[in-house]
Structure 1
Amino acid sequence: MSHRIIRSLLEARLAAWAKTKSLRVAYQNQSFDPVDGETYLTTATLPALTDSLTLAGDHREYTGIFQVSVVTPAGKGAGAGEALADELSALYPLNDRLSKETFTVQLITPMAIAREIQGATDYTVPVSLTYRADTI
């Protein structure tokens, strides 16, 4: 039970949705070359330190942030990226649970937009949520 499982659960949901939108996804530590003018997504899982809340040490608490950045071409306005961010918010609803066998992770904050980033050739809308999983 680990952040690896959490990342795989979150990314699997994203992959299925992105396929329906014909969006490519740049996953962590994978080669990705965007095409000029392409709208695409990037992901980052930012785990916090694993904790244990029992004296026996049999409990594990996994928390962290899952971020998806919507990258659109520069100079086209913010609307397209923000619309995809809204769809991502619906894709990962607050308090939703994702499971693999007996392991379950809960989304404990809503997917929220952070400060958008204007680049020379692209415009990035970062959206993120916080997750938590407990095991005993």
Structure 2
Amino acid sequence: MSQPIIRAVLESALASLVPAIDTAWQNVPYTPVTGRPYQAAYLLPAEPDNHSMGDGSRQERGIFQVSLLYPPGQGTAVAGARAEAIAALFHRGASFTKDGITVQIERTPEIADGRADDDRWMVPVKIRYFCNL
């Protein structure tokens, strides 16, 4: 039952970022609006890490990726500023808690180089997390 809570914790933190922009959540219908930026959020769980035998403890790990999708032809500054704001929110050492589960940010988020993606300029931000259960 931990993955839904981890997702909710990270998505809630992303939704708190100001200024808000439209968000495409996984498996939720979304139609991009022409000329308006949006972000797409993906939870990419990795293999759990078991530190010991017998006690049932484990560490859930993964990447929370936020892909920023901006209209083309507007330069890179606005998308870059949003990527930096996301990196600041999910800074190394940040933690977010819900229902007794704390998700911690393991590393400084990775802001990849932007690229054309269909009719948008896309900048991916990878946020590496872990959660001790």
Return the TM-score normalized by structure 1.
0.90
For this pair of structures, how many residues does the alignment match?
A: 133
For 2:87 and 2:97, locate their aligned partners in 1 and report how far apart those are by CA, in whole Å.
19
For 2:59 and 2:67, locate their aligned partners in 1 and report how far apart those are by CA, in whole Å.
26
Checking the alignment, whether the CA contact within 8 Å between 1:23 and 1:40 is kept in structure 2 is: yes
SS state at 1:82 partner: helix
Checking the alignment, whether the CA contact within 8 Å between 2:13 and 2:96 is kept in structure 1 is: no
2:73 equivalent to 1:75? yes
Checking the alignment, whether the CA contact within 8 Å between 1:74 and 1:120 is kept in structure 2 is: no
For 2:46 and 2:118, locate their aligned partners in 1 and report how far apart those are by CA, in whole Å.
32
For 1:32 and 1:116, locate their aligned partners in 2 and report how far apart those are by CA, in whole Å.
22
Q: What does residue 24 of structure 1 align with?
A: 22
SS state at 1:77 partner: coil
Q: What does residue 60 of structure 1 align with?
A: 58
Gapped regions of structure 2 (runs ≥ 5):
none
Gapped regions of structure 1 (runs ≥ 5):
none
Q: What does residue 7 of structure 1 align with?
A: 7
- 4+ aligned runs moved over 2 Å, structure 1: none
Percent identical across equivalent pairs?
33
CA RMSD of aligned residues (A): 1.4
Return the TM-score normalized by structure 2.
0.92
For 1:92 and 1:129, locate their aligned partners in 2 and report how far apart those are by CA, in whole Å.
7
